[in-house]
Amino acid sequence: MADMQALALLIQSLRSLPGVGVKSASRMAFHLLQHDRQAALRLARALQQAVEQVRHCERCHTFAEQPLCLTCADPRRDASQLCVIETPADQSAIERTGSYRGLYFVLMGRLSPLDGIGPREIGLSHLKERVGDGLVQEVILATNFTAEGEATAHAITQMLHSQGLKVTRLARGVPVGSELEYVDLGTIAHALSDRR
């Protein structure tokens, strides 16, 4: 539609959101323009502001709007433990358990050679530098238990092998509240071999 350039451009731009195809993008554009133009302007401002202000924490690489994130800047955290995770969402999940008081290193991704994500993209050399601060004694690998997460954990274990640090991995096992009958066999096998 030659007279609908702004609308066409909006639909095309919404498609750059993950999981949004052309039908969802059209529905979103229709909703914003027909029912909530204020929300559209708020979103535009929030996008600009976030791009301007959100940087990475210098120590743990998570999103931060100051040089250090609140966790890294908190003197009450236990600096002898460093938990390595893939994303800020994984960090919030661990924080919500209330059972970890150490620090984090956020890879902001995982090794994925097919997508062009190698050791440099997830900051492995920074991680090596970070664990050499003289305070870290244990590195807890909490990458996901997917093929890519496991490969990432393996690569980090290899890299830290010669550093004389304790390197641990989150325990695999049967989820709390689940019935054995419905748990996949790989999980049961791991729970058996890691029994305690």
* Cβ proximity to a second copy, 41 vs 135, nearer residue: 41
CB count in 10 Å sphere of residue 121: 15
Give min distance, CB of 108 to a second copy, in A.
6
Q: How far is CA 99 from CA 9, 96, 118, 142, in A?
A: 47, 8, 31, 14
Q: Is 112 in the site for a second copy (CB under 8 A)?
A: no
CA separation for the pair 154, 135 (Å, rounded): 23
Q: Is 36 in the site for a second copy (CB under 8 A)?
A: yes
Q: Is 60 in the site for a second copy (CB under 8 A)?
A: no
Q: Is 181 in the site for a second copy (CB under 8 A)?
A: no
Q: Which of 59, 60, 64, 136 binds a second copy (CB under 8 A)?
A: 64
Q: What is the DSSP string of 46-66?
A: HHHHHHHH-EE-TTT-SEESS
Span from 83-91, 125-133, 142-150, 170-178 in contact with a second copy (CB under 8 A): 83-91
Q: Which residue has the tokens 């890294």?
A: 72
Q: Is 50 in the site for a second copy (CB under 8 A)?
A: yes
Positions 5 through 34 that interact with a second copy (CB under 8 A):
5-7, 9-10, 12-14, 16-19, 24, 26-34
Q: What is the DSSP string of 72-120?
A: TT-TTSEEEEEEEESSHHHHHHHHHHT---EEEEE-SS--BGGGTB-TT
CB count in 10 Å sphere of residue 84: 26
* Cβ proximity to a second copy, 87 vs 137, nearer residue: 87
What token pair was written down for 182?
């419905």
Q: Which of 79, 94, 100, 109 binds a second copy (CB under 8 A)?
A: 109
Residues that bind a second copy (CB under 8 A): 1-7, 9-10, 12-14, 16-19, 24, 26-34, 36-37, 39-54, 63-66, 69-70, 87-89, 108-109
